[in-house]
């Protein structure tokens, strides 16, 4: 129960830091996977306020800095979510990673950075790379709330919402004065090394931090039979600056700048360098690489413990610059270069108001995207062949979202808390330069949508101590069509070419969920079952035409269907030194689709349906020692429930489906001193060849990972 004592000591800090919830666990050998399994953790994402996770009516997972950097030694943000129930990390490429959360990914999952949306109006259908543009080393913690949270966070928050809460020296662990910190990671099968030096100052009224992450990933080594996967390596450079200034005891300004640059990350399965595995095909392109830049700047005002009618106030102003460029060299030696640049201005304000009807959390949001898009084609001799009207999405486009929300949490009887929420959202798209797929001339596409979203959930304490709770409820979710839905003029999945469409309606989702949580002295667990009804989901539909050997597709609001599943995770302390942990995920889902150019709809499995998956582990943490040892096995069943498009995606999914696998791993850590932590892991001990369902590359073979964290 050492973690609970540490949590109690941090409670006063949480009150002052509200939305960032920066109450972290002290670096300790007694950590024992607390971040993943301890549901007494304080979280902010589920309610936009600092609350005990056990009291929130959702399945919640938290991974803090200790687990991210030392215990799990994660490479990327998507990898930080692996091994969690209900989550499957699809990787089109080694430089990409797209979590499927309860069956949804890409533009139907939402990522936040300190409460600010990463999602913008150009996010693509299906798996994409954008979550990989967040530096995992910049996060103090990652909070995952599963299921729709559209009442609090708006469009896209369907499968789940992740909030990356960034680091600072305001978490109560730092003495006044200068501080520095060094993190290093090296991995054999990844042929990689990572270095992050960090320097900062903690003062009486302010703290400041600056850091850089230098990452070099070589070609990925598969298992004992596959071997090296060529052209899978890439480089990354990340920069971060953060300043906290106390205006008064309960008022604070926060200024931050984060910048991420990824260079030359190949989508190798589309090229001649792709490696065939279990019958997968390879492409004929000579190059398909992606480079990305992302810079987020924000200023936030936080006020807590206010007197009068308002208890807390948060105001955030941000500017998010995200750009990407794809370089493709075709088999005929012609080159095309295309890209997008998106500047997003964001503003949100929220307040907590105590009232006779409960604790009210209310606020408003405004996000405005300015989008530029381009494409240039070159002949084999390097001369300019053409300049297109648009790039992958419309050029000279804007996308506006404005919303207001309110959520009320109140007691209903002695042991039951009820949470009711309401949100109204207005969205407008204005794509001024779009290429007409019939005439090739520029056209304009303009549309707008409104949505009212409701949520009603409960949390019932089964005992007076509050260690066991029942939770559940009904939540609506929605997703307004974005610029990618409306204006994409680009290759889509394998052998498909997507064209613009003039009008679409919003997608609608309704999730029913019921679950149980328990957090006792020796045993903690979460279990939940859910059913999500899908209405008017935008689906890709063949037009019956052929474009340069590719199947032309458009979009329709025809995807009615469902996703259902059950998730279970647990941790049990056998003794003061030994603990076991594990989780299990079962998922099923179907949606109406058009598998051929025929106008007849067919009910099929959802794309990339997560197979039956389990994790089990054993941990030894001697009471008098400063080290720990852990063994675990991750297992996934064969996935042969394939949609027609999955079955045709032979670059990534083997004929007959993705094979089952079982992967063993060993980890150990040593707290050498108060300042120095060392960790070592052997992942995939038996050097198995395996692939996460729907991925374009295999996972690493036997992989020795070493990390060092030095905090003098």
Contact 451, 424 (CB under 8 A): yes
Contacts of 92 (CB under 8 A, 6+ apart): 98, 127, 129, 267, 269, 652, 695, 696, 697
Specify the 3-state DSSP secondary structure of 20.
helix
Residue 161 scores a pLDDT above 60: yes
Residue 600: what pLDDT?
A: 82
| Mean pLDDT within 480-505 | 88
* 505-533 average pLDDT score: 96
Residue ranges of domains in the chain, CATH in brackets:
184-710 (2.40.170.20)
pTM of the model: 0.93
By mean pLDDT, which of 312-316, 463-467, 529-533, 633-637 is the weakest? 463-467
Work out the angle at residue 626's Cα, subtended by the Cα atoms of residues 622 and 628, and round it to the nearest 5 degrees: 55
Whole-number average pLDDT of the chain: 91
Q: Tens of pLDDT along 421-467?
A: 999 999 999 999 999 988 999 999 999 999 999 999 999 999 988 89
CB-based contact 67:33 (threshold 8 Å): yes
Confidence (pLDDT) at 638: 98
Q: For the chain, first and last CA: distance in Å?
A: 27
User: CB atoms < 10 A from the CB of 461, how many?
Assistant: 18
- Tell me how many degrees the CA angle 239-243-245 measures, rounded to the nearest 5: 175
The pLDDT score that the predictor gives to residue 686 is: 98
Report d(CA 81, CA 353) in Å as an integer. Answer: 34
Q: Concatenate the DSSP letters of all residues of 465-524 into one string.
A: T--EEEEEEEEEEEE---HHHHH--EE-STTEEE---S--PPEEEEEEEEEEEEE-SSEE
Question: Which residues are CB-contacts of 143 (< 8 A; sequence separation ≥ 6)?
Answer: 21, 43, 44, 45, 46, 60, 61, 62, 162, 163, 165
pLDDT of residue 2: 35
Q: State the average pLDDT over residues 606-633.
A: 95
**Is the pLDDT confidence value at 83 over 70?**
yes
Return the pLDDT at 601: 87
pLDDT tens digits for range 115-153: 999 999 999 988 889 999 999 999 999 999 999 999 999
d(CA 169, CA 41): 20
């Amino acid at each position: 129960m050492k973690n609970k004592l540490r949590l109690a000591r941090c409670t006063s800090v949480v009150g002052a830091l509200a939305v960032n919830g920066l109450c972290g666990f002290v670096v300790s050998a007694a950590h024992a996977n607390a971040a993943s399994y301890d549901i007494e953790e304080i979280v902010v994402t589920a309610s936009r306020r600092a609350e005990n996770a056990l009291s929130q009516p959702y399945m919640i997972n938290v991974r803090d800095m200790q687990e991210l950097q030392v215990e799990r030694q994660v490479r990327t943000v998507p990898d930080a979510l692996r091994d969690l129930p209900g989550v499957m990390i699809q990787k089109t490429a080694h430089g990409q990673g797209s979590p499927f959360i309860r069956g949804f990914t890409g533009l139907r999952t939402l990522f936040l950075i300190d409460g600010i949306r990463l999602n913008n109006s150009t996010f693509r259908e299906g798996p994409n790379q954008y979550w990989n543009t967040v530096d995992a080393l910049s996060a103090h913690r990652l909070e995952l709330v599963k299921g729709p949270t559209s009442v609090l966070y708006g469009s896209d928050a369907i499968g789940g919402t992740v909030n990356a809460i960034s680091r600072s020296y305001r978490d109560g662990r730092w003495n006044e004065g200068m501080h520095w910190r060094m993190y290093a990671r090296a991995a054999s099968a990844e042929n990689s090394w990572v270095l992050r030096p960090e320097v900062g100052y903690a003062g009486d009224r302010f703290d400041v931090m600056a850091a850089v992450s230098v990452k070099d990933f070589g070609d990925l080594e598969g298992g004992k039979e596959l071997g090296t996967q060529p052209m899978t390596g890439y480089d990354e450079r990340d920069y971060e600056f953060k300043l906290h200034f106390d205006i008064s005891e309960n008022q604070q300004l926060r200024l931050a700048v984060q910048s991420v640059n990824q260079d030359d990350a190949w989508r190798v399965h589309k090229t001649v360098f792709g490696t065939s595995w279990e019958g997968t095909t390879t492409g004929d392109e000579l190059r398909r690489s992606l480079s990305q830049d992302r810079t987020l700047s924000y200023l936030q005002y936080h006020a807590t413990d206010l007197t009068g009618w308002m208890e807390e106030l948060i105001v955030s102003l941000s500017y998010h610059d995200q750009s990407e460029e794809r370089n493709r060299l075709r088999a005929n030696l012609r080159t095309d270069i295309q890209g997008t640049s998106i500047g997003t201005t964001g503003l949100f304000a929220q307040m907590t108001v105590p009232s006779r009807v409960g604790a009210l959390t209310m606020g408003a949001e405004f996000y405005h995207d300015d989008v530029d898009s381009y494409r240039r084609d070159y002949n084999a001799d390097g001369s300019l062949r053409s300049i297109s009207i648009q790039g992958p999405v419309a050029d000279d486009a804007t996308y506006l979202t404005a919303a207001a929300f309110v959520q009320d949490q109140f007691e209903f009887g002695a042991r039951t808390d009820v949470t009711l929420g309401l949100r109204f959202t207005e969205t407008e798209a204005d794509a001024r330069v779009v290429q007409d797929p019939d005439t090739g001339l520029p056209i304009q596409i303009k549309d707008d949508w409104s949505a009212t979203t409701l949520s009603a959930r409960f949390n019932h304490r089964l005992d007076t101590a509050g260690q066991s709770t029942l939770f559940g409820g009904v939540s609506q979710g929605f997703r307004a069509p974005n610029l990618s839905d409306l204006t994409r003029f680009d290759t889509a999945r394998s052998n498909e070419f997507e064209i613009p469409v003039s009008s679409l309606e919003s997608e609608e989702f309704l999730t029913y969920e019921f679950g149980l949580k328990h957090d006792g002295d020796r045993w903690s667990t979460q279990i939940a079952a859910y059913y999500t009804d899908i209405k008017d989901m935008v689906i890709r539909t063949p037009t019956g035409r052929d474009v340069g050997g590719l199947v032309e597709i458009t979009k329709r609001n025809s995807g009615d269907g469902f996703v259902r599943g059950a998730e279970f995770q647990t941790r049990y302390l056998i003794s003061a030194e030994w603990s076991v942990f594990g989780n299990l995920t079962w998922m099923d889902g179907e949606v109406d689709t058009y598998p051929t150019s025929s106008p007849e709809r067919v009910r099929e499995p959802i794309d990339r349906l997560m197979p039956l998956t389990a994790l089990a582990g054993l941990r030894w943490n001697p009471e008098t020692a400063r080290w720990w040892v852990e063994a675990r096995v991750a297992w996934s069943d064969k996935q042969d429930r394939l949609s027609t498009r999955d079955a045709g995606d032979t670059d990534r999914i083997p004929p007959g489906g993705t094979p089952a696998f079982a992967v063993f791993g060993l980890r150990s850590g040593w707290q050498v001193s108060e300042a120095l932590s060392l960790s070592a892991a052997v992942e995939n001990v038996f050097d198995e060849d395996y692939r996460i369902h729907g991925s374009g590359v295999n996972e690493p073979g036997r992989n020795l990972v070493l990390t060092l964290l030095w905090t003098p």
